[in-house]
Chain A
Amino acid sequence: MASSKRKFMIGCQQWLKALPFLIFGFVLMAMFILYPLIRNIYISFTDFNVIKNEVTEFVGAKNYLDLLKDKNYLIAFRNTLLYALVTVPGQMFFGLILASLVNSVRKGQTFFKVVCYLPVITSWVVVSLVFKYLFMSGKGGLINYALMQLHLIRQPIAWLQSEWTANVVLWLFGIWKGVGWVMIIYLAALQGVPSEVYEASEIDGAGAVRRFFSMTLPMVRNTTNYLLTVLTIGAFGAYIHVMMITEGAPLGTTNELMNYMYNTAFSTYNIGSAAAQAVLMGVIVLILTMIQRRVSQDQMN
Protein backbone atom coordinates (compact mmCIF):
# COMPACT_ATOMS: atom_id res chain seq x y z
CA MET A 1 0.00 0.00 0.00
CA ALA A 2 2.68 2.40 1.04
CA SER A 3 4.77 1.49 -1.94
CA SER A 4 1.96 2.12 -4.44
CA LYS A 5 1.37 5.51 -2.85
CA ARG A 6 5.07 6.19 -3.16
CA LYS A 7 4.94 5.12 -6.79
CA PHE A 8 2.06 7.50 -7.38
CA MET A 9 3.98 10.36 -5.80
CA ILE A 10 7.01 9.64 -7.95
CA GLY A 11 4.78 9.54 -11.01
CA CYS A 12 3.35 12.93 -10.11
CA GLN A 13 6.80 14.39 -9.65
CA GLN A 14 7.90 12.99 -12.98
CA TRP A 15 4.89 14.50 -14.68
CA LEU A 16 5.50 17.84 -13.00
CA LYS A 17 8.98 17.85 -14.50
CA ALA A 18 7.91 16.69 -17.95
CA LEU A 19 4.81 18.84 -18.24
CA PRO A 20 6.49 22.14 -19.14
CA PHE A 21 8.20 20.39 -22.06
CA LEU A 22 5.11 18.62 -23.24
CA ILE A 23 2.20 20.89 -22.51
CA PHE A 24 2.30 23.28 -25.49
CA GLY A 25 2.62 20.58 -28.10
CA PHE A 26 0.04 18.41 -26.42
CA VAL A 27 -2.56 21.16 -26.08
CA LEU A 28 -2.07 22.27 -29.70
CA MET A 29 -2.29 18.70 -30.96
CA ALA A 30 -5.36 17.96 -28.85
CA MET A 31 -7.13 21.18 -29.80
CA PHE A 32 -6.47 21.20 -33.51
CA ILE A 33 -6.33 17.51 -34.38
CA LEU A 34 -7.88 15.28 -31.72
CA TYR A 35 -10.82 17.49 -30.81
CA PRO A 36 -11.73 18.28 -34.46
CA LEU A 37 -11.50 14.57 -35.19
CA ILE A 38 -14.09 13.70 -32.55
CA ARG A 39 -16.30 16.67 -33.38
CA ASN A 40 -16.18 15.68 -37.04
CA ILE A 41 -17.50 12.21 -36.26
CA TYR A 42 -20.28 13.74 -34.19
CA ILE A 43 -21.25 16.24 -36.90
CA SER A 44 -21.38 13.45 -39.48
CA PHE A 45 -24.45 12.08 -37.66
CA THR A 46 -26.26 15.41 -37.57
CA ASP A 47 -27.76 18.16 -39.63
CA PHE A 48 -25.59 21.24 -39.18
CA ASN A 49 -26.82 24.76 -39.79
CA VAL A 50 -24.00 26.99 -40.99
CA ILE A 51 -25.73 30.30 -40.38
CA LYS A 52 -26.70 29.49 -36.79
CA ASN A 53 -23.34 27.70 -36.45
CA GLU A 54 -24.92 24.83 -34.52
CA VAL A 55 -26.23 21.30 -34.83
CA THR A 56 -29.97 21.45 -35.51
CA GLU A 57 -30.88 17.79 -35.55
CA PHE A 58 -29.48 14.34 -34.89
CA VAL A 59 -30.08 12.32 -38.05
CA GLY A 60 -28.31 9.03 -37.36
CA ALA A 61 -26.68 7.41 -40.36
CA LYS A 62 -28.67 9.49 -42.87
CA ASN A 63 -25.67 11.45 -44.14
CA TYR A 64 -23.86 8.20 -44.85
CA LEU A 65 -26.83 6.53 -46.52
CA ASP A 66 -27.44 9.62 -48.65
CA LEU A 67 -23.87 9.42 -49.92
CA LEU A 68 -24.49 5.92 -51.24
CA LYS A 69 -27.30 7.36 -53.34
CA ASP A 70 -25.43 10.51 -54.36
CA LYS A 71 -24.44 9.93 -57.96
CA ASN A 72 -21.86 12.69 -57.93
CA TYR A 73 -20.20 11.31 -54.82
CA LEU A 74 -19.99 7.89 -56.43
CA ILE A 75 -18.43 9.43 -59.53
CA ALA A 76 -15.89 11.18 -57.32
CA PHE A 77 -15.23 7.85 -55.61
CA ARG A 78 -14.74 6.10 -58.94
CA ASN A 79 -12.38 8.83 -60.13
CA THR A 80 -10.34 8.66 -56.94
CA LEU A 81 -10.01 4.89 -57.28
CA LEU A 82 -8.95 5.25 -60.91
CA TYR A 83 -6.53 8.03 -60.00
CA ALA A 84 -4.93 5.74 -57.41
CA LEU A 85 -4.96 2.72 -59.74
CA VAL A 86 -3.21 4.65 -62.49
CA THR A 87 -0.89 7.03 -60.67
CA VAL A 88 0.42 4.71 -57.94
CA PRO A 89 1.76 2.00 -60.30
CA GLY A 90 2.73 4.74 -62.76
CA GLN A 91 4.84 6.62 -60.24
CA MET A 92 6.41 3.39 -58.99
CA PHE A 93 7.18 2.06 -62.46
CA PHE A 94 8.89 5.21 -63.69
CA GLY A 95 10.37 5.96 -60.27
CA LEU A 96 12.08 2.59 -60.08
CA ILE A 97 13.42 2.80 -63.63
CA LEU A 98 14.72 6.28 -62.91
CA ALA A 99 16.28 5.17 -59.62
CA SER A 100 18.01 2.23 -61.32
CA LEU A 101 19.33 4.52 -64.03
CA VAL A 102 20.60 7.07 -61.53
CA ASN A 103 22.16 4.28 -59.49
CA SER A 104 23.90 2.82 -62.54
CA VAL A 105 25.94 5.90 -63.38
CA ARG A 106 28.64 7.78 -61.48
CA LYS A 107 29.06 11.06 -63.34
CA GLY A 108 26.16 13.48 -63.07
CA GLN A 109 24.26 11.46 -60.50
CA THR A 110 23.55 14.50 -58.34
CA PHE A 111 22.50 16.57 -61.34
CA PHE A 112 19.86 14.06 -62.45
CA LYS A 113 18.65 13.60 -58.89
CA VAL A 114 18.19 17.33 -58.39
CA VAL A 115 16.49 17.89 -61.74
CA CYS A 116 14.08 14.98 -61.37
CA TYR A 117 13.20 16.06 -57.84
CA LEU A 118 12.21 19.57 -58.97
CA PRO A 119 8.55 18.64 -59.67
CA VAL A 120 8.28 17.27 -56.13
CA ILE A 121 9.31 20.44 -54.37
CA THR A 122 7.34 22.79 -56.62
CA SER A 123 4.02 23.99 -55.23
CA TRP A 124 0.97 21.94 -56.30
CA VAL A 125 -0.84 25.13 -57.23
CA VAL A 126 1.90 26.26 -59.60
CA VAL A 127 2.41 22.86 -61.19
CA SER A 128 -1.34 22.56 -61.70
CA LEU A 129 -1.36 25.89 -63.52
CA VAL A 130 1.44 24.69 -65.80
CA PHE A 131 -0.43 21.50 -66.60
CA LYS A 132 -3.55 23.42 -67.42
CA TYR A 133 -1.50 25.47 -69.86
CA LEU A 134 0.36 22.48 -71.31
CA PHE A 135 -2.94 20.81 -72.17
CA MET A 136 -4.63 23.87 -73.64
CA SER A 137 -7.08 23.04 -76.38
CA GLY A 138 -6.31 24.34 -79.84
CA LYS A 139 -3.14 23.85 -81.82
CA GLY A 140 -1.16 26.33 -79.69
CA GLY A 141 -1.13 24.08 -76.61
CA LEU A 142 2.29 22.49 -76.26
CA ILE A 143 1.01 18.91 -75.91
CA ASN A 144 -1.33 19.24 -78.88
CA TYR A 145 1.44 20.86 -80.90
CA ALA A 146 3.90 18.08 -80.06
CA LEU A 147 1.40 15.32 -80.81
CA MET A 148 0.49 16.94 -84.14
CA GLN A 149 4.13 17.38 -85.11
CA LEU A 150 4.66 13.69 -84.38
CA HIS A 151 1.57 12.94 -86.50
CA LEU A 152 -0.01 11.08 -83.59
CA ILE A 153 -3.16 13.17 -83.87
CA ARG A 154 -4.66 15.09 -86.80
CA GLN A 155 -6.84 17.55 -84.92
CA PRO A 156 -5.99 19.31 -81.66
CA ILE A 157 -7.66 17.65 -78.68
CA ALA A 158 -9.80 19.68 -76.28
CA TRP A 159 -8.24 17.90 -73.31
CA LEU A 160 -10.13 19.52 -70.48
CA GLN A 161 -13.52 19.58 -72.17
CA SER A 162 -14.42 15.92 -72.04
CA GLU A 163 -14.56 13.43 -69.21
CA TRP A 164 -11.84 10.94 -70.02
CA THR A 165 -9.23 13.18 -71.61
CA ALA A 166 -9.57 15.51 -68.60
CA ASN A 167 -9.08 12.58 -66.24
CA VAL A 168 -6.03 11.52 -68.23
CA VAL A 169 -4.55 14.98 -67.70
CA LEU A 170 -5.07 14.60 -63.94
CA TRP A 171 -3.41 11.17 -64.03
CA LEU A 172 -0.42 12.43 -65.97
CA PHE A 173 -0.14 15.25 -63.49
CA GLY A 174 -0.10 12.79 -60.58
CA ILE A 175 2.61 10.67 -62.14
CA TRP A 176 4.77 13.61 -63.20
CA LYS A 177 4.59 15.20 -59.75
CA GLY A 178 5.49 12.04 -57.83
CA VAL A 179 8.14 10.19 -59.84
CA GLY A 180 11.02 12.16 -58.32
CA TRP A 181 9.98 11.31 -54.79
CA VAL A 182 9.63 7.61 -55.59
CA MET A 183 13.05 7.73 -57.21
CA ILE A 184 14.65 9.06 -54.01
CA ILE A 185 13.04 6.36 -51.88
CA TYR A 186 14.02 3.55 -54.28
CA LEU A 187 17.50 4.98 -54.64
CA ALA A 188 18.02 4.70 -50.88
CA ALA A 189 17.04 1.02 -51.12
CA LEU A 190 19.20 0.36 -54.17
CA GLN A 191 22.24 1.99 -52.63
CA GLY A 192 21.94 -0.43 -49.74
CA VAL A 193 22.73 -3.25 -52.18
CA PRO A 194 26.47 -3.93 -52.34
CA SER A 195 27.83 -3.24 -55.81
CA GLU A 196 29.66 -6.59 -55.82
CA VAL A 197 26.29 -8.28 -56.25
CA TYR A 198 25.73 -6.39 -59.47
CA GLU A 199 29.23 -6.90 -60.74
CA ALA A 200 29.00 -10.63 -60.07
CA SER A 201 25.85 -10.89 -62.11
CA GLU A 202 27.36 -8.79 -64.88
CA ILE A 203 30.20 -11.24 -65.10
CA ASP A 204 27.65 -14.03 -65.20
CA GLY A 205 26.45 -12.34 -68.35
CA ALA A 206 22.96 -11.60 -67.10
CA GLY A 207 21.30 -9.01 -69.35
CA ALA A 208 20.16 -5.69 -67.96
CA VAL A 209 16.49 -6.57 -68.25
CA ARG A 210 16.89 -9.95 -66.61
CA ARG A 211 19.03 -8.44 -63.87
CA PHE A 212 16.28 -5.94 -63.20
CA PHE A 213 13.61 -8.60 -62.76
CA SER A 214 15.59 -11.33 -61.04
CA MET A 215 17.67 -9.14 -58.73
CA THR A 216 16.60 -5.52 -58.40
CA LEU A 217 12.87 -6.09 -57.95
CA PRO A 218 13.15 -8.72 -55.19
CA MET A 219 15.74 -6.65 -53.37
CA VAL A 220 13.55 -3.57 -53.12
CA ARG A 221 10.40 -5.49 -52.14
CA ASN A 222 10.11 -3.84 -48.71
CA THR A 223 10.38 -0.41 -50.25
CA THR A 224 7.79 -1.33 -52.85
CA ASN A 225 5.31 -2.29 -50.15
CA TYR A 226 5.99 0.90 -48.24
CA LEU A 227 5.55 3.03 -51.35
CA LEU A 228 2.39 1.23 -52.32
CA THR A 229 0.64 2.32 -49.13
CA VAL A 230 2.06 5.80 -48.83
CA LEU A 231 1.31 6.62 -52.45
CA THR A 232 -2.20 5.18 -52.23
CA ILE A 233 -2.94 7.29 -49.16
CA GLY A 234 -1.53 10.27 -51.02
CA ALA A 235 -3.66 9.55 -54.08
CA PHE A 236 -6.84 9.34 -52.00
CA GLY A 237 -6.11 12.62 -50.26
CA ALA A 238 -5.09 14.63 -53.33
CA TYR A 239 -7.31 17.53 -54.32
CA ILE A 240 -5.36 20.62 -55.40
CA HIS A 241 -4.83 19.33 -58.93
CA VAL A 242 -8.57 18.89 -59.41
CA MET A 243 -9.39 22.29 -57.93
CA MET A 244 -6.85 24.02 -60.13
CA ILE A 245 -6.98 22.11 -63.41
CA THR A 246 -10.57 20.97 -63.99
CA GLU A 247 -12.67 22.11 -61.00
CA GLY A 248 -14.60 18.90 -61.58
CA ALA A 249 -15.56 19.94 -65.12
CA PRO A 250 -17.11 18.79 -67.32
CA LEU A 251 -20.20 18.38 -65.12
CA GLY A 252 -18.48 16.92 -62.09
CA THR A 253 -17.05 13.99 -64.04
CA THR A 254 -13.49 14.71 -62.91
CA ASN A 255 -14.24 15.34 -59.24
CA GLU A 256 -12.23 13.40 -56.70
CA LEU A 257 -13.20 12.66 -53.11
CA MET A 258 -11.45 15.46 -51.29
CA ASN A 259 -12.37 18.28 -53.59
CA TYR A 260 -15.94 16.97 -53.67
CA MET A 261 -15.92 17.11 -49.88
CA TYR A 262 -14.64 20.65 -49.96
CA ASN A 263 -17.38 21.69 -52.35
CA THR A 264 -20.03 19.94 -50.26
CA ALA A 265 -18.89 21.87 -47.21
CA PHE A 266 -18.07 25.28 -48.60
CA SER A 267 -20.12 25.65 -51.79
CA THR A 268 -23.36 23.85 -50.95
CA TYR A 269 -22.87 24.18 -47.16
CA ASN A 270 -23.99 20.64 -46.44
CA ILE A 271 -21.68 20.32 -43.46
CA GLY A 272 -23.14 17.05 -42.17
CA SER A 273 -22.59 15.28 -45.47
CA ALA A 274 -19.08 16.67 -45.83
CA ALA A 275 -18.24 15.48 -42.32
CA ALA A 276 -19.49 12.00 -43.23
CA GLN A 277 -17.26 12.08 -46.32
CA ALA A 278 -14.32 13.08 -44.14
CA VAL A 279 -14.99 10.20 -41.75
CA LEU A 280 -15.12 7.73 -44.63
CA MET A 281 -11.81 9.07 -45.91
CA GLY A 282 -10.32 8.74 -42.43
CA VAL A 283 -11.47 5.12 -42.25
CA ILE A 284 -9.96 4.34 -45.65
CA VAL A 285 -6.62 5.86 -44.66
CA LEU A 286 -6.68 4.04 -41.33
CA ILE A 287 -7.27 0.70 -43.04
CA LEU A 288 -4.48 1.35 -45.54
CA THR A 289 -2.12 2.30 -42.72
CA MET A 290 -2.99 -0.83 -40.77
CA ILE A 291 -2.39 -3.01 -43.82
CA GLN A 292 1.00 -1.39 -44.23
CA ARG A 293 1.88 -1.96 -40.56
CA ARG A 294 0.87 -5.61 -40.86
CA VAL A 295 2.87 -6.14 -44.02
CA SER A 296 6.01 -4.48 -42.69
CA GLN A 297 5.73 -6.47 -39.45
CA ASP A 298 5.44 -9.71 -41.39
CA GLN A 299 8.58 -8.78 -43.27
CA MET A 300 10.50 -8.14 -40.09
CA ASN A 301 9.65 -11.56 -38.67
Chain B
Amino acid sequence: MRRKLSKIPNYIGLALFALFALIPFQYMLATAMTPLSYSMPYPPILVPESLYFGNFVEAWNANHFSQYFLNSLIVAAIATVIIMLVSSAGAYAFARMQFPGREFVFYLYLFTMMVPTVTNLIPQFLLMKDLKLVDTYLGLLLIYIGIGVPSNTFFLRNFFLGLPKELEEAVIIDGGNHWQIYWRIVLPLSKPALGTFAILAYSNVWDEFLIALTMIKTPDKRTLPIALRLFQGQNLNNWGLIFAASLIAVLPILIIYIVMQKKLIRGGAMDGMLKG
Protein backbone atom coordinates (compact mmCIF):
# COMPACT_ATOMS: atom_id res chain seq x y z
CA MET B 1 0.00 0.00 0.00
CA ARG B 2 2.75 2.37 0.95
CA ARG B 3 4.49 1.55 -2.35
CA LYS B 4 1.37 2.44 -4.30
CA LEU B 5 0.86 5.69 -2.47
CA SER B 6 4.45 6.67 -3.02
CA LYS B 7 3.77 6.73 -6.76
CA ILE B 8 1.29 9.59 -6.45
CA PRO B 9 3.85 12.38 -7.03
CA ASN B 10 5.00 10.55 -10.16
CA TYR B 11 1.46 10.48 -11.50
CA ILE B 12 1.01 14.16 -10.73
CA GLY B 13 4.17 14.89 -12.71
CA LEU B 14 3.00 12.74 -15.59
CA ALA B 15 -0.39 14.42 -15.58
CA LEU B 16 1.31 17.82 -15.84
CA PHE B 17 3.35 16.69 -18.85
CA ALA B 18 0.25 15.22 -20.48
CA LEU B 19 -1.64 18.45 -19.82
CA PHE B 20 1.06 20.56 -21.47
CA ALA B 21 1.14 18.20 -24.45
CA LEU B 22 -2.64 18.23 -24.85
CA ILE B 23 -3.66 21.84 -24.20
CA PRO B 24 -2.59 23.14 -27.63
CA PHE B 25 -4.59 20.36 -29.27
CA GLN B 26 -7.59 21.04 -27.08
CA TYR B 27 -7.32 24.77 -27.87
CA MET B 28 -7.17 23.98 -31.57
CA LEU B 29 -10.19 21.68 -31.38
CA ALA B 30 -12.25 24.10 -29.30
CA THR B 31 -11.44 26.97 -31.66
CA ALA B 32 -12.34 24.86 -34.69
CA MET B 33 -15.72 24.12 -33.11
CA THR B 34 -16.54 27.76 -32.43
CA PRO B 35 -18.44 29.83 -35.02
CA LEU B 36 -16.59 32.80 -36.47
CA SER B 37 -16.20 35.87 -34.33
CA TYR B 38 -14.17 38.75 -35.63
CA SER B 39 -12.45 39.54 -32.37
CA MET B 40 -10.54 37.10 -30.20
CA PRO B 41 -13.00 35.53 -27.79
CA TYR B 42 -12.45 36.55 -24.18
CA PRO B 43 -11.89 34.55 -22.06
CA PRO B 44 -10.21 32.06 -24.42
CA ILE B 45 -12.34 29.06 -25.28
CA LEU B 46 -10.97 25.69 -24.21
CA VAL B 47 -14.32 23.91 -24.18
CA PRO B 48 -16.58 24.52 -27.15
CA GLU B 49 -20.09 25.73 -26.27
CA SER B 50 -21.73 23.31 -28.66
CA LEU B 51 -20.84 20.61 -31.14
CA TYR B 52 -20.48 22.90 -34.13
CA PHE B 53 -18.96 21.41 -37.27
CA GLY B 54 -19.60 24.28 -39.67
CA ASN B 55 -15.93 25.20 -39.87
CA PHE B 56 -14.97 21.68 -40.88
CA VAL B 57 -17.58 21.65 -43.64
CA GLU B 58 -16.52 25.08 -44.84
CA ALA B 59 -12.80 24.29 -44.71
CA TRP B 60 -13.33 21.09 -46.66
CA ASN B 61 -15.33 22.83 -49.36
CA ALA B 62 -13.47 26.12 -49.47
CA ASN B 63 -10.49 26.94 -51.67
CA HIS B 64 -10.09 23.48 -53.23
CA PHE B 65 -9.11 22.08 -49.86
CA SER B 66 -10.50 18.64 -50.67
CA GLN B 67 -8.45 18.74 -53.87
CA TYR B 68 -5.26 19.43 -51.89
CA PHE B 69 -6.11 16.63 -49.51
CA LEU B 70 -6.43 14.25 -52.44
CA ASN B 71 -3.19 15.56 -53.99
CA SER B 72 -1.28 14.84 -50.80
CA LEU B 73 -2.91 11.44 -50.45
CA ILE B 74 -1.85 10.40 -53.96
CA VAL B 75 1.64 11.92 -53.95
CA ALA B 76 2.46 10.37 -50.58
CA ALA B 77 1.07 6.97 -51.62
CA ILE B 78 3.03 6.80 -54.90
CA ALA B 79 6.24 8.04 -53.27
CA THR B 80 5.91 5.52 -50.44
CA VAL B 81 5.34 2.51 -52.70
CA ILE B 82 8.30 3.36 -54.94
CA ILE B 83 10.57 4.20 -52.01
CA MET B 84 9.83 0.84 -50.42
CA LEU B 85 10.33 -1.14 -53.65
CA VAL B 86 13.56 0.59 -54.64
CA SER B 87 14.98 0.60 -51.10
CA SER B 88 14.18 -3.04 -50.39
CA ALA B 89 15.79 -4.17 -53.66
CA GLY B 90 18.94 -2.17 -52.91
CA ALA B 91 18.95 -3.34 -49.30
CA TYR B 92 18.75 -6.92 -50.51
CA ALA B 93 21.84 -6.44 -52.70
CA PHE B 94 23.77 -4.94 -49.77
CA ALA B 95 22.65 -7.65 -47.35
CA ARG B 96 22.83 -10.79 -49.45
CA MET B 97 25.04 -10.29 -52.51
CA GLN B 98 28.78 -10.13 -53.00
CA PHE B 99 30.28 -7.61 -55.39
CA PRO B 100 33.48 -5.57 -55.45
CA GLY B 101 33.14 -2.06 -54.02
CA ARG B 102 30.07 -2.98 -52.00
CA GLU B 103 31.38 -1.24 -48.88
CA PHE B 104 32.21 1.91 -50.83
CA VAL B 105 28.76 2.20 -52.40
CA PHE B 106 27.19 1.53 -49.02
CA TYR B 107 29.23 4.33 -47.46
CA LEU B 108 28.01 6.65 -50.19
CA TYR B 109 24.45 5.88 -49.06
CA LEU B 110 25.44 6.52 -45.46
CA PHE B 111 27.06 9.79 -46.42
CA THR B 112 23.99 11.06 -48.28
CA MET B 113 21.90 10.31 -45.20
CA MET B 114 23.88 12.95 -43.35
CA VAL B 115 23.23 15.68 -45.91
CA PRO B 116 20.49 17.92 -44.52
CA THR B 117 17.53 18.08 -46.90
CA VAL B 118 17.30 21.85 -46.95
CA THR B 119 20.89 22.41 -48.05
CA ASN B 120 20.22 20.69 -51.37
CA LEU B 121 17.10 22.65 -52.13
CA ILE B 122 18.60 25.16 -54.56
CA PRO B 123 20.51 22.75 -56.82
CA GLN B 124 17.53 20.38 -56.76
CA PHE B 125 15.33 23.22 -57.93
CA LEU B 126 17.83 24.15 -60.67
CA LEU B 127 18.07 20.52 -61.75
CA MET B 128 14.29 20.40 -62.04
CA LYS B 129 14.40 23.57 -64.09
CA ASP B 130 16.92 21.96 -66.45
CA LEU B 131 14.76 18.86 -66.74
CA LYS B 132 11.66 21.02 -67.25
CA LEU B 133 10.05 19.29 -64.29
CA VAL B 134 9.28 22.32 -62.13
CA ASP B 135 5.60 22.39 -61.21
CA THR B 136 5.07 18.70 -62.05
CA TYR B 137 4.29 15.83 -59.71
CA LEU B 138 6.93 13.77 -61.51
CA GLY B 139 9.61 16.23 -60.41
CA LEU B 140 8.27 16.40 -56.87
CA LEU B 141 8.03 12.61 -56.63
CA LEU B 142 11.56 12.09 -57.98
CA ILE B 143 12.99 14.30 -55.25
CA TYR B 144 10.90 12.69 -52.51
CA ILE B 145 11.98 9.25 -53.67
CA GLY B 146 15.63 10.25 -54.06
CA ILE B 147 15.66 11.63 -50.53
CA GLY B 148 13.77 8.70 -49.04
CA VAL B 149 15.79 5.88 -50.58
CA PRO B 150 19.16 6.06 -48.73
CA SER B 151 17.82 5.92 -45.18
CA ASN B 152 15.24 3.25 -45.98
CA THR B 153 17.87 1.19 -47.79
CA PHE B 154 20.08 1.47 -44.75
CA PHE B 155 17.45 0.41 -42.23
CA LEU B 156 16.06 -2.38 -44.39
CA ARG B 157 19.57 -3.74 -44.98
CA ASN B 158 20.05 -3.96 -41.23
CA PHE B 159 16.74 -5.76 -40.96
CA PHE B 160 17.52 -8.18 -43.80
CA LEU B 161 20.89 -9.04 -42.22
CA GLY B 162 18.99 -10.29 -39.19
CA LEU B 163 16.80 -12.70 -41.18
CA PRO B 164 17.67 -16.43 -40.98
CA LYS B 165 19.37 -17.74 -44.11
CA GLU B 166 18.07 -21.32 -43.95
CA LEU B 167 14.93 -20.64 -45.98
CA GLU B 168 16.92 -18.94 -48.70
CA GLU B 169 19.32 -21.85 -48.95
CA ALA B 170 16.38 -24.12 -49.59
CA VAL B 171 15.35 -21.91 -52.53
CA ILE B 172 18.88 -22.01 -53.94
CA ILE B 173 18.98 -25.81 -53.70
CA ASP B 174 15.74 -25.88 -55.67
CA GLY B 175 17.51 -23.87 -58.36
CA GLY B 176 15.97 -20.49 -57.48
CA ASN B 177 17.73 -17.18 -58.10
CA HIS B 178 18.06 -13.93 -56.17
CA TRP B 179 14.83 -12.48 -57.51
CA GLN B 180 12.89 -15.40 -56.16
CA ILE B 181 14.58 -15.16 -52.79
CA TYR B 182 13.92 -11.42 -52.64
CA TRP B 183 10.32 -11.59 -53.74
CA ARG B 184 9.16 -14.88 -52.20
CA ILE B 185 11.19 -15.09 -49.01
CA VAL B 186 12.75 -11.84 -47.88
CA LEU B 187 9.89 -9.45 -48.62
CA PRO B 188 7.15 -11.60 -47.02
CA LEU B 189 9.34 -12.17 -43.96
CA SER B 190 9.93 -8.43 -43.66
CA LYS B 191 6.30 -7.33 -43.73
CA PRO B 192 6.34 -5.79 -40.24
CA ALA B 193 9.51 -3.79 -40.91
CA LEU B 194 8.33 -2.77 -44.36
CA GLY B 195 5.04 -1.63 -42.88
CA THR B 196 6.70 0.48 -40.22
CA PHE B 197 9.11 2.13 -42.62
CA ALA B 198 6.34 2.67 -45.14
CA ILE B 199 4.26 4.49 -42.55
CA LEU B 200 7.21 6.66 -41.59
CA ALA B 201 7.95 7.42 -45.25
CA TYR B 202 4.29 8.19 -45.86
CA SER B 203 4.01 10.63 -43.00
CA ASN B 204 7.29 12.29 -43.99
CA VAL B 205 5.97 12.97 -47.49
CA TRP B 206 2.53 13.92 -46.17
CA ASP B 207 4.04 16.63 -43.97
CA GLU B 208 6.77 17.76 -46.36
CA PHE B 209 6.66 21.49 -46.74
CA LEU B 210 9.69 23.21 -48.24
CA ILE B 211 10.29 21.18 -51.40
CA ALA B 212 6.63 21.28 -52.33
CA LEU B 213 6.56 25.03 -51.66
CA THR B 214 9.54 25.51 -53.97
CA MET B 215 8.60 23.12 -56.78
CA ILE B 216 4.84 23.49 -57.11
CA LYS B 217 3.46 26.69 -58.63
CA THR B 218 0.00 25.86 -59.97
CA PRO B 219 -2.61 26.33 -57.23
CA ASP B 220 -4.49 23.15 -58.19
CA LYS B 221 -1.41 21.01 -57.67
CA ARG B 222 -0.63 22.14 -54.14
CA THR B 223 -0.16 19.62 -51.37
CA LEU B 224 -1.72 20.07 -47.93
CA PRO B 225 1.11 21.73 -45.98
CA ILE B 226 1.51 24.53 -48.52
CA ALA B 227 -2.23 24.85 -48.89
CA LEU B 228 -2.50 25.25 -45.13
CA ARG B 229 0.07 28.01 -45.09
CA LEU B 230 -1.70 29.92 -47.85
CA PHE B 231 -5.05 29.17 -46.26
CA GLN B 232 -3.83 30.94 -43.15
CA GLY B 233 -2.76 33.92 -45.27
CA GLN B 234 -6.21 34.14 -46.86
CA ASN B 235 -8.23 33.72 -43.68
CA LEU B 236 -6.11 35.84 -41.39
CA ASN B 237 -8.39 36.07 -38.40
CA ASN B 238 -10.68 33.19 -39.08
CA TRP B 239 -8.87 30.83 -36.76
CA GLY B 240 -11.83 28.49 -36.44
CA LEU B 241 -11.59 27.78 -40.15
CA ILE B 242 -7.79 27.53 -40.10
CA PHE B 243 -7.80 25.00 -37.27
CA ALA B 244 -10.62 23.00 -38.81
CA ALA B 245 -8.46 22.72 -41.93
CA SER B 246 -5.39 21.89 -39.80
CA LEU B 247 -7.24 19.15 -37.96
CA ILE B 248 -8.38 17.64 -41.24
CA ALA B 249 -4.74 17.71 -42.38
CA VAL B 250 -3.36 15.96 -39.31
CA LEU B 251 -6.20 13.43 -39.05
CA PRO B 252 -4.76 10.69 -41.31
CA ILE B 253 -1.43 10.70 -39.48
CA LEU B 254 -3.17 10.74 -36.08
CA ILE B 255 -5.32 7.77 -37.04
CA ILE B 256 -2.37 5.75 -38.34
CA TYR B 257 -0.41 6.67 -35.23
CA ILE B 258 -3.04 5.70 -32.72
CA VAL B 259 -3.81 2.42 -34.48
CA MET B 260 -0.15 1.50 -34.90
CA GLN B 261 1.34 3.33 -31.92
CA LYS B 262 3.40 0.43 -30.59
CA LYS B 263 5.32 -0.22 -33.78
CA LEU B 264 5.60 3.43 -34.68
CA ILE B 265 7.06 4.54 -31.40
CA ARG B 266 9.68 1.85 -31.68
CA GLY B 267 10.37 2.73 -35.31
CA GLY B 268 10.62 6.41 -34.47
CA ALA B 269 12.92 5.72 -31.57
CA MET B 270 15.21 3.76 -33.83
CA ASP B 271 16.16 6.55 -36.11
CA GLY B 272 14.17 9.66 -35.43
CA MET B 273 12.88 9.83 -38.95
CA LEU B 274 9.71 11.31 -37.64
CA LYS B 275 11.69 14.21 -36.30
CA GLY B 276 11.48 15.77 -39.71
Contact B24 A33 (CB under 8 A): no
Taking CB atoms, residues of chain A closer than 8 Å to B24 are: 119, 127, 130-131, 134, 176
From A173, which residue of chain B is reached at the shortest CB distance?
B24
Bound CA–CA A49/B135 (angstroms)? 20
**Residues in A whose Cβ lies below 8 Å from that of B155:** none
A21 at the interface (CB under 8 A from B): yes
Cβ-based interface call for A217 (8 A): no
Is the CB–CB distance between A21 and B93 below 8 Å?
Answer: yes
- Interface with A: B35-43, B52-60, B63-71, B166-174, which one? B35-43
A4: interface (CB < 8 Å): no
Contact residues in A for B116 (Cβ distance below 8 Å): 233, 236-237, 281-282, 285
CA distance A150 to B42 in the complex (A): 16
Q: Could you say which of A117, A141, A188, A274 contacts B122, with CB atoms under 8 Å apart?
A: A274
* Residue-wise interface mask of B (207-245) relative to A, using a CB-CB cutoff of 8 A (1 in contact, 0 not): 101100010000000000100110010000001001100
Structural contact, B118 and A33, CB atoms closer than 8 A: no
Contact B122 A40 (CB under 8 A): yes
Whether A88 sits at the interface, judged by CB under 8 Å, is no
B159 CB-CB contact with A under 8 Å? no
A237 to B207, CA, bound (A): 16
> What is the distance, in angstroms, from A261's C-beta to the closest C-beta of chain B?
7
* Interchain nearest-CB distance for A186 vs B (Å): 10
A15 to B214, CA, bound (A): 38
* Residues A17 and B99 in contact, CB atoms below 8 Å apart: yes
Which one of B87, B97, B108, B112 contacts A18 once the chains associate, using CB atoms below 8 Å?
B97
CB-based contact B178/A21 at 8 Å:
yes
CB neighbours of A136 from chain B (8 A): 40
CB proximity of A215 to chain B, nearest CB, Å: 16
A24 neighbours in B (Cβ, 8 Å): 86, 89-90
Residues on the A chain within 8 Å of B114, using CB: 285-286, 289
Which of A35, A43, A105, A120 sits near B11, CB closer than 8 Å? A105
Question: How many Å lie between the Cα of A114 and that of B253 in the bound state?
Answer: 13
CA distance A286 to B116 in the complex (A): 10
Kindly state whether residue A170 has any CB partner on chain B within 8 Å.
no
Q: How close is B34's CB to chain A, nearest CB, in angstroms?
A: 12
Q: Using known A-B contacts A29-B108, A40-B122, A134-B24, determine if residue A125 contacts B209 with beta carbons closer than 8 Å.
A: yes
CA distance A137 to B121 in the complex (A): 34
Distance to closest chain B CB from A119 (angstroms): 6
Contact of A176 among B20, B102, B121 (CB under 8 A): B20
27 CB < 8 A contacts A-B: A11-B99, A11-B100, A18-B93, A20-B89, A24-B86, A25-B153, A35-B127, A37-B119, A37-B120, A40-B120, A53-B130, A101-B13, A104-B7, A105-B11, A108-B11, A116-B21, A123-B207, A125-B228, A133-B31, A133-B243, A230-B272, A236-B116, A237-B118, A244-B229, A271-B122, A282-B116, A282-B119
Residues of A within 8 A of B (CB): 11, 14-15, 17-18, 20-22, 24-26, 28-29, 31-37, 39-40, 43, 53, 94, 97-98, 101-102, 104-105, 108, 110, 112-127, 129-131, 133-134, 136, 138-142, 145, 176, 178-181, 184-185, 187-188, 230, 233-234, 236-237, 239-240, 243-244, 258, 261-262, 265-266, 271, 274-275, 278-279, 281-282, 285-286, 289
Known: A118-B22, A121-B257. 14 other contacts (CB 8 A): A22-B89, A29-B112, A31-B142, A32-B147, A40-B119, A105-B11, A120-B275, A121-B203, A123-B206, A123-B207, A126-B249, A129-B246, A178-B275, A262-B210
